[in-house]
Amino acid sequence: MKLNLRALEAFRLTLATGSGSAAARQLGISQPAVSRLIARLQNDVGFDLFYRERGRLVATPEALILSNEVEAALARLDQVASLARNIGQLDIGELRIVGPPSLVEGALAPVIAGFLNKHPKLKAVIHPRDVDTTKEMVATKEAECGFAKLPINHAGIRAEVLVVSETACVLPPGHPLMDHDIITPAELRNVPLVVLGQGRWPRTAIDAQFHKAGIAPHVRLETQSVGSACAFAAQGVGVAIVNEFMARDHAWRGVHIRTFRPQILHKYAFITASAAPMAKVTEAFLIHCRNALKMDVAAE
């Protein structure tokens, strides 16, 4: 037996008001329409629901037994409707975000916090992971979205570039090169450098530019993270050559950030699983990231 929702609403209001016309006013329909709905429900359940007594509609004993369950069912449907509205308005839900610690705990932390401040009833779960784990968690939908540096090279990933960053020189406080807007390998001849470890794409690209200029880089310290490189630059160990987007997160250390040339670009993407459409909350987060980061996109 499949009962009509509108008929159940008419039954509930008629029972509460004792009047088909009063129920009609609350439903925004005519009194004959209410009568037809009640008749339909009586036909579906197989017994009378009301009888008339002194001009009022009075519930039958069977209707009274039915009424509690009808009330509970409609209340539950109201809860479902309310939940659907909350989901649509991002007033409820959870967003799982994954990415390298240098991004989700550093340069992108203000962006994530800004989204949560706009939607105070949302919950976020942050998973700081290495690049390979980030891609796998997104592809297998263990996380709704993530951040990663291009190239991605994963068939299960959909990527949208959010940031295109220059390479920068991070200078210790008071460094002689601080008056330069642009720094090239020529200016860095015999200057102690802090660079990322060999085998990583940024290091390979930087070494190639020094080689083209016929200059041997004076590497004083190798490290595996931009944060570490900036920290040692701040301590005067040397000039760090890293991507500018992440270096700006360390400006508080008192370092000077200058553009490196020839140009080496770093691209960062918002990634989701290619096998499934984005949830509404994920799509809203992507739009927020676009708007928050649009000033960080450098011209290629």
> Using one digit for the tens of pLDDT, what is the confidence trace for 195-240?
998 888 889 999 999 999 999 999 999 999 999 999 999 999 999 9
CATH fold for the domain made of 94-164+267-296: D-Maltodextrin-Binding Protein; domain 2 (3.40.190)
Q: What is the DSSP string of the chain?
A: ----HHHHHHHHHHHHHS-HHHHHHHHTS-HHHHHHHHHHHHHHHTS--EEEETTEEEE-HHHHHHHHHHHHHHHHHHHHHHHHHHHHTTSS-EEEEEE-HHIIIIITHHHHHHHHHHSTT-EEEEEE--HHHHHHHHHTTSSSEEEEESP---TTEEEEEEEEE-EEEEEPTT-GGGG-SEE-TTTTTT-EEEEEPTTSHHHHHHHHHHHHTT---EEEEEES-HHHHHHHHHTTS-EEEEEHHHHGGGGGGT-EEEEESS---EEEEEEEETTSPPPHHHHHHHHHHHHHHGGGPPP-
Least confident of 19-23, 55-59, 91-95, 227-231: 91-95
In this model, does residue 73 exceed pLDDT 60? yes
CATH fold for the domain made of 5-88: Arc Repressor Mutant, subunit A (1.10.10)
Q: What is the pLDDT of residue 300?
A: 37
**CATH number of the domain at 167-264, please?**
3.40.190.10
Delimit the domains of the chain by residue range: 5-88, 94-164+267-296, 167-264
Domains 94-164+267-296 and 167-264 alike in fold = yes
How high does pLDDT run on average in the chain? Answer: 91
Residues 233-260 pLDDT 10s: 999 999 999 999 999 999 999 999 999 9
**pTM exceeds 0.85 for this model:** no
Is the peptide bond prior to 151 cis by the omega test (within 30 degrees of 0)? yes
Q: What is the pLDDT of residue 297?
A: 46
In this model, does residue 295 exceed pLDDT 50? no
